[in-house]
Structure 1
Amino acid sequence: MDAPEVSLDNYEAVYEYYRGHQQNRFVAKLAYAALALKYRPRIAYAPGAEAALAALLGRGTQLVVAVNHLTESDQFTLAATAWRTPLRRVIGRTRVLAKDELFVDPAQRKKVDMMGSIPVFRSKNHGLRAVSDAGRVMMDVAAQRLSEGDCLAIFPEGTCNTEDPRTLQHVNSGIGHIVSRAEKLGCSPALLSVGISYGPDAGQVKSARVFIGTPVDDLGGKPMDIARVVQADLQRAVDGAVASY
């Protein structure tokens, strides 16, 4: 299937394409390795988190990786982090939710497709009513990919935090709906919270401090309940990143 134009009017074809899209895993690993050399994140773990993460991945558990959102470079920091942690083993098998604007320029789209991205049409750009149907299909696709063995990376704040990099913005229920739908498909993903700090002014995008929290492997509940768990757990990871910067 040829890659369709990523536009809200075309959302059904867009999500049908990304329902099965698979990037070249070898090329993805090379790109992630290059980003690790360029961005060089300094990584810290909650006590026991590294071993717990490795154990979950060894058992084939799907992960929902939640990351705070500070700058347009966050996806590169996350990719560099993946290469330098046990997440390396799921490079090429991780979908990353990314705003639809990143898919407009052909050269940029090639890069985000290589990273396994799935476009998201955001209400701040298109209006809540306009994106509601597309959002439901996106969540179905994300849940399906989890149920088929992929992991999923999300910036659940939905927009860059330009106010206070130490305090997480509101996490809406979208991440909860995705997890809940995945569970109905027989998948029980674990939450992995990843906190990023670029310093007091969020200006040092290279050599970021990244803090990886202890995985949470029991996310059962209603979407809003899951979102609250994510909010609290990701804030702890952000606190860890800020404290260890």
Structure 2
Amino acid sequence: MDVELAQSEAVYAHYLDHQQDRVRARLMYGVLAARIRPVVRFTSRDRLVRTVRSGKPLLIAANHVSQRDPLVLAAAGFRSPIRPRIGHLRVLAKDELFEDPEQRRKIDTLGGIPVFRPKDHGVRAAAEAGRQMFGVCVERMVRGDSIAVFPEGTCNEGDVTRLQKLGTGIGHIAYRALKAGVDVSLVSAGIAYPDDGDRARPRVTFGEPVVLAGFKDETPAALTRIIQGDLQGVVDEVSRVAARA
């Protein structure tokens, strides 16, 4: 089955139940961690450890400053308390990454779920696929999986220390998950690259988990603003760390 907008219903029916090989997933994440060697920091490592051990789903939001970001986030996840979630961690990725069969196998192993972005397919054409994607994310979280999102939607080509305005997709995922009774915690991840050339090790900071149940009566737009504020705080921190590198 090809990952195409015209057959989005079949695509999302597949990814609703798709399960990557967990052993291969851990191996692949481990290889990325060894190759990329990100410097990983935490706002509150103890809180993150307790949240992961609780077994409750995570909604991981990361800024987007480079095409390397998904690999860097995977490597950082392996070097963090999030490692036990590998194999039960789904990552939203643009649909074009699923076109090449070999690359798709790798993305599938990493836990990818395709996203048909409005900027690539038009707002109207992508709207129904977006609703289907939200449904898959929520159902996966109901089953205990965690979801990682780059909610800016595209690489930041301006001031990388300031988030672009987030799309409301992540707010819709959080809103629907809360309405479905999922006790989800937000974990913001800030990514930065020191200005030391290609050999510089990327910096990743994981923020303190935020229990979203306290915001269950908020709208998707309000939840998006809450997520934007928390993620910006973590981006501020990782930017300071990268500047000192």
Contact 2:194 2:201 in 1 (8 A): no
Q: 1:9-32 deviations in whole A, cap 9, x for unaligned? A: 010000000000000000000010
Matches of 1:139 and 1:26 in 2, distance apart?
27
CA distance 1:205–1:88, change in 2 (3 Å)? farther
Match among 229, 233, 237 for residue 234 of structure 2? 237
Q: Which amino acid aligns with 1:36?
A: A
- 1:95 equivalent to 2:94? Answer no
User: May I ask how many residue pairs the two structures share in their alignment?
Assistant: 239
The equivalent residue for 1:111 is 106
Aligned partner of 1:243: which letter? R
> Secondary structure in 2 aligned to 1:19?
helix
Q: 2:134 aligns with which of 139, 146, 155?
A: 139
**Aligned partner of 1:7: which letter?**
E
2:78 paired residue number: 83
Query: What displacement does 1:212 show?
Result: 1.1
Indicate how the Cα distance of structure 1 residues 120 and 205 shifts in structure 2: closer, same or farther if over 3 A, else same.
Answer: farther
The AA in structure 1 aligned to 2:207 is: G
TM-score by length of 1: 0.95
Looking at structure 1, the residues matched to 95 and 162 of structure 2 have their Cα atoms a distance apart, in angstroms, of: 26
Give the Å deviation of 1:200: 4.9
Q: Secondary structure at the match of 2:172?
A: helix
Distance across 1 between alignment mates of 2:104 and 2:199: 22
Question: 1:39·1:205 contact (CA, 8 Å) conserved in 2?
Answer: no
Which position in structure 1 is the counterpart of 2:57? 62
**Where do 1:64-213 residues align within 5 Å?**
64-200=59-195, 204=198, 207-213=201-207
Whether the 8 Å CA contact 1:94–1:151 is kept in 2: the answer is yes
Cα pair 1:39 1:206 within 8 Å, conserved: no
CA contact (8 A) 2:39 2:204 kept: yes
Residue 188 of structure 1 deviates from its aligned partner by: 1.8
Q: Which of residues 17, 21, 24 is equivalent to 1:24? A: 21
Q: Does 35-44 or 192-201 show the bigger shift? A: 192-201
Match of 1:13 among 10, 14, 23: 10
Separation in structure 1 between the aligned mates of residue 100 and residue 164 of structure 2, nearest angstrom: 29
| 1:40 corresponds to | 37
Decide whether the 8 Å contact of 1:66 with 1:193 is kept in 2.
yes
Which residue of the other structure, out of 194, 197, 214, is the alignment partner of 2:208? 214
Whole-angstrom CA distance in 2 between matches of 1:109 and 1:205? 27
- TM-score normalised by L of structure 2: 0.95
How far apart are 1:109 and its partner, in Å?
0.3
* Aligned AA (1:89): P
- C-alpha separation in 2, matches of 1:231 and 1:57: 22
State the superposition RMSD in angstroms.
Answer: 1.3
Preserved contact between residue 198 and residue 205 of structure 1 (Cα < 8 Å): no
Instruction: Rate the CA distance shift 1:139–1:205 in 2: closer, same or farther, 3 A.
Output: farther
